[in-house]
Protein backbone atom coordinates (compact mmCIF):
# COMPACT_ATOMS: atom_id res chain seq x y z
CA UNK A 1 0.00 0.00 0.00
CA UNK A 2 1.24 3.46 -0.96
CA UNK A 3 0.04 6.41 1.07
CA UNK A 4 0.38 10.14 0.53
CA UNK A 5 1.74 12.27 3.37
CA UNK A 6 1.01 16.01 3.50
CA UNK A 7 2.18 18.55 6.04
CA UNK A 8 1.73 22.24 6.77
CA UNK A 9 -0.48 23.33 3.90
CA UNK A 10 -1.44 26.57 5.71
CA UNK A 11 -4.36 27.30 3.39
CA UNK A 12 -2.25 27.65 0.25
CA UNK A 13 -5.00 26.61 -2.21
CA UNK A 14 -2.73 26.76 -5.26
CA UNK A 15 -0.22 24.40 -3.67
CA UNK A 16 -2.94 22.09 -2.37
CA UNK A 17 -4.35 21.80 -5.92
CA UNK A 18 -0.85 20.85 -7.09
CA UNK A 19 -0.63 18.25 -4.30
CA UNK A 20 -3.87 16.69 -5.53
CA UNK A 21 -2.31 16.33 -9.01
CA UNK A 22 0.92 14.87 -7.64
CA UNK A 23 -0.80 12.32 -5.41
CA UNK A 24 -3.15 11.25 -8.19
CA UNK A 25 -0.10 10.59 -10.36
CA UNK A 26 1.69 8.74 -7.56
CA UNK A 27 -0.98 6.06 -7.24
CA UNK A 28 -1.59 6.40 -3.52
CA UNK A 29 -4.59 4.71 -1.95
CA UNK A 30 -4.90 6.89 1.18
CA UNK A 31 -3.66 10.25 2.42
CA UNK A 32 -2.44 11.50 5.80
CA UNK A 33 -2.27 15.20 6.73
CA UNK A 34 0.06 15.92 9.65
CA UNK A 35 -1.57 19.24 10.57
CA UNK A 36 -1.64 22.97 10.01
CA UNK A 37 -4.42 22.88 7.46
CA UNK A 38 -5.48 26.29 8.79
CA UNK A 39 -8.78 26.86 6.94
CA UNK A 40 -11.75 24.63 6.08
CA UNK A 41 -11.59 25.48 2.35
CA UNK A 42 -8.33 23.53 2.12
CA UNK A 43 -10.21 20.33 2.96
CA UNK A 44 -12.53 20.90 0.02
CA UNK A 45 -9.57 21.03 -2.34
CA UNK A 46 -8.05 17.88 -0.80
CA UNK A 47 -11.37 16.06 -1.09
CA UNK A 48 -10.96 16.22 -4.88
CA UNK A 49 -8.57 13.31 -4.46
CA UNK A 50 -11.61 11.10 -3.84
CA UNK A 51 -9.52 8.93 -1.50
CA UNK A 52 -9.71 8.25 2.21
CA UNK A 53 -8.03 11.15 4.04
CA UNK A 54 -7.11 11.24 7.73
CA UNK A 55 -5.21 13.82 9.68
CA UNK A 56 -4.45 15.64 12.88
CA UNK A 57 -4.83 19.22 13.98
CA UNK A 58 -1.71 21.37 14.15
CA UNK A 59 -0.88 24.38 16.29
CA UNK A 60 -2.15 26.78 13.59
CA UNK A 61 -5.48 25.00 13.23
CA UNK A 62 -7.27 27.43 15.50
CA UNK A 63 -10.60 27.12 13.67
CA UNK A 64 -11.09 23.56 14.95
CA UNK A 65 -14.86 23.70 15.03
CA UNK A 66 -15.10 24.89 11.41
CA UNK A 67 -12.37 22.47 10.32
CA UNK A 68 -14.24 19.63 12.06
CA UNK A 69 -17.49 20.50 10.28
CA UNK A 70 -15.74 20.65 6.91
CA UNK A 71 -13.93 17.38 7.60
CA UNK A 72 -17.21 15.61 8.41
CA UNK A 73 -18.82 17.11 5.30
CA UNK A 74 -16.06 15.75 3.06
CA UNK A 75 -15.72 12.40 4.87
CA UNK A 76 -12.27 13.24 6.23
CA UNK A 77 -11.17 11.98 9.65
CA UNK A 78 -9.52 14.86 11.51
CA UNK A 79 -8.56 14.46 15.19
CA UNK A 80 -6.37 15.80 17.95
CA UNK A 81 -2.96 14.13 17.83
CA UNK A 82 -1.75 11.51 18.22
CA UNK A 83 -3.66 9.50 15.63
CA UNK A 84 -2.95 5.78 15.68
CA UNK A 85 -3.41 3.88 12.42
CA UNK A 86 -3.06 0.21 11.57
CA UNK A 87 -2.66 -0.09 7.80
CA UNK A 88 -1.10 -2.90 5.77
CA UNK A 89 0.16 -4.59 8.92
CA UNK A 90 1.97 -1.44 10.06
CA UNK A 91 1.41 0.61 13.19
CA UNK A 92 1.55 4.29 12.25
CA UNK A 93 1.38 7.27 14.59
CA UNK A 94 0.54 10.72 13.22
CA UNK A 95 1.33 13.89 15.17
CA UNK A 96 1.93 17.48 14.22
CA UNK A 97 4.84 18.41 16.48
CA UNK A 98 6.75 15.24 17.33
CA UNK A 99 8.43 16.89 20.31
CA UNK A 100 5.06 17.70 21.89
CA UNK A 101 4.57 13.93 22.33
CA UNK A 102 7.70 12.91 24.17
CA UNK A 103 5.94 9.87 25.55
CA UNK A 104 5.83 8.09 22.16
CA UNK A 105 7.32 4.65 22.60
CA UNK A 106 9.11 4.29 19.29
CA UNK A 107 9.68 0.56 19.70
CA UNK A 108 5.90 0.05 19.58
CA UNK A 109 5.38 1.56 16.10
CA UNK A 110 6.67 1.16 12.60
CA UNK A 111 6.19 4.76 11.48
CA UNK A 112 5.82 8.21 13.03
CA UNK A 113 4.64 10.89 10.61
CA UNK A 114 4.89 14.53 11.61
CA UNK A 115 5.14 18.09 10.36
CA UNK A 116 5.41 21.44 12.15
CA UNK A 117 9.05 22.25 11.33
CA UNK A 118 8.47 23.08 7.65
CA UNK A 119 11.58 21.08 6.78
CA UNK A 120 12.09 17.60 5.45
CA UNK A 121 13.51 15.16 7.98
CA UNK A 122 13.98 11.41 7.87
CA UNK A 123 15.43 9.17 10.52
CA UNK A 124 15.16 5.67 11.87
CA UNK A 125 15.24 5.06 15.60
CA UNK A 126 14.58 1.84 17.49
CA UNK A 127 13.32 0.31 14.24
CA UNK A 128 10.85 3.16 13.67
CA UNK A 129 10.77 5.34 10.57
CA UNK A 130 10.27 8.98 11.66
CA UNK A 131 9.40 11.22 8.74
CA UNK A 132 8.39 14.77 7.98
CA UNK A 133 7.93 15.09 4.19
CA UNK A 134 8.44 18.85 4.39
CA UNK A 135 6.07 21.73 4.00
CA UNK A 136 3.47 22.33 1.34
CA UNK A 137 2.66 25.96 2.14
CA UNK A 138 5.41 27.73 0.26
CA UNK A 139 6.70 29.48 3.38
CA UNK A 140 10.25 28.23 2.83
CA UNK A 141 11.18 29.06 -0.79
CA UNK A 142 11.98 26.05 -2.96
CA UNK A 143 11.11 23.54 -0.25
CA UNK A 144 7.59 22.46 -1.22
CA UNK A 145 7.18 18.71 -1.15
CA UNK A 146 4.68 15.99 -0.51
CA UNK A 147 5.48 12.47 0.61
CA UNK A 148 4.66 9.01 -0.67
CA UNK A 149 5.30 6.09 1.63
CA UNK A 150 5.34 2.46 0.54
CA UNK A 151 4.14 0.67 3.65
CA UNK A 152 5.36 -2.75 2.52
CA UNK A 153 8.98 -1.65 2.11
CA UNK A 154 8.82 1.34 4.49
CA UNK A 155 10.49 3.38 1.76
CA UNK A 156 9.59 7.08 1.70
CA UNK A 157 9.67 9.17 -1.46
CA UNK A 158 9.58 12.94 -1.60
CA UNK A 159 7.84 14.66 -4.51
CA UNK A 160 9.06 18.24 -4.85
CA UNK A 161 7.08 21.00 -6.48
Q: What is the pLDDT of residues 19-71, one digit of tens each?
A: 999 999 999 999 999 999 999 999 999 999 999 999 999 999 999 999 999 99
3-state secondary structure of 32: strand
Pairing type for strands 155-160 and 30-33 reads unpaired
**How far apart, in Å, are the Cα atoms of 152 and each of 30, 53, 88, 122, 156?**
14, 19, 7, 17, 11
> pLDDT digits over 70-121, tens only?
999 999 999 999 999 999 999 999 999 999 987 777 778 999 999 999 999 9
* pLDDT the model gives residue 111: 97
Alpha carbons 1 and 18: distance in angstroms, whole number? 22
Enclosing H/E stretch for 135: none
Q: 149 or 101: whose pLDDT is higher? A: 149
Which CATH number applies to 2-160: 3.60.21.10, 3.40.50.800, 3.90.79.10, 2.60.40.1260?
A: 3.60.21.10
Mean pLDDT of the chain: 95
Average pLDDT over residues 126-148: 90
Amino acid sequence: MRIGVISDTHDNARNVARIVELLRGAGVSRVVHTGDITRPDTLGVLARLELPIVGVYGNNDVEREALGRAARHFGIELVEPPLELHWAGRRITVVHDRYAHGDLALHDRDVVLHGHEHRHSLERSSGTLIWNPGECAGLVAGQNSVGVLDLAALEPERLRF
